[in-house]
Structure 1
Amino acid sequence: MSLERPVAPDPYELLPPVPSFTLTSEDVANGEPMPADFAHHSVGGGNLSPQLAWSDHPAETGSFVVTCYDPDAPTGSGFWHWVLVNLPASVTQLPRGAGSETAAGGFSVRNDYGEQGYGGAAPPAGDRPHRYVFAVHAVDVPALDLTPAATPAVVGFNLAFHTLARAVIRPTYQIKE
């Protein structure tokens, strides 16, 4: 069953532009299908967050926020898979599987599965490939004034006022019928 609908815009195309920096991964690649290790348990995946590393961020970075968002989810509002807040500025990489509730000195808010931490890809079977937008936001303060009870939307609102630069990688995932 193919869900015929227009391709959603990349969420960061809708926000004021900010400078970019370098984001790499040993596990996922821009525009390439993700291995099942990074898909959700509900679709037989390993539910591991991919390894991510970043560099060349602004010198005045106070902290980082890492997010993963699926703009192609058939929800009208996309689907937040991971929102990791208040990583210290000294953290410039996360190993594979670091998507627990707390990681590297930061904390996760609830994803759209209703869980804290990383929740892997799980697009509807037969749907087109979904984009998973992994973003690292360089933030101008040591910590956003948020708690783990914040929603991804509230984190995004705060990021609109505190993001110095953003690095993005966009792998895909699809479940064939």
Structure 2
Amino acid sequence: MGAETMKRTGYRGISFREAEQVVACQRYERMERRRFQGGIQARSIFGSGLYLISDAALAAQYAFCHAEAEGGERAAILKQEVNLERPLVINCRYSEMQLREDALDWKYKGKPLPNVRPEHIHAWLGRSTKEFALAHSFDGIVYHLDDSIIYYVAYFQDKQVRGIDLEYVFTLNGA
């Protein structure tokens, strides 16, 4: 379930307007939860934190959605170093489903689960998962979706993320 200290390169796709501010401040202000056009949503499935991805091309898809949602003409991919000292690792041996089960069992053992409205279920599960991870001394999540795509969730970005820089800027089609 756990792992050793890990330094990796993570990417995040956002609007160019937001990217300028993030690079200048070396800090993200906006977290992951967001609604985009066409009903697409970005959810914080592991609780509030900074969500990064190992694949710059996939980050570009997020960048497009963010720029489009803000009505901007340009999008950006930011590259940064992420350093997790004690990440909880999700992969083929320890799944996202097992993590959720463990988190709910830990938090509600012997108690009834609260009645959560369907539109709030993801936020509730995310908060419970983050509480579980932090209570077990994990400082973030490393989620291996497959052999080539990894999500990184940093719960303490100020000490876990360094060197935020513009990797790539592009203009939305038709803009």
Tell me the TM-score normalized by structure 2. 0.23
Question: RCO (CA 8 Å, sep 6+): is it higher in 1 or 2?
Answer: 2
Tell me the TM-score normalized by structure 1. 0.23
Between structures 1 and 2, the one with greater helix share: 2
Bigger radius of gyration among the two? 2
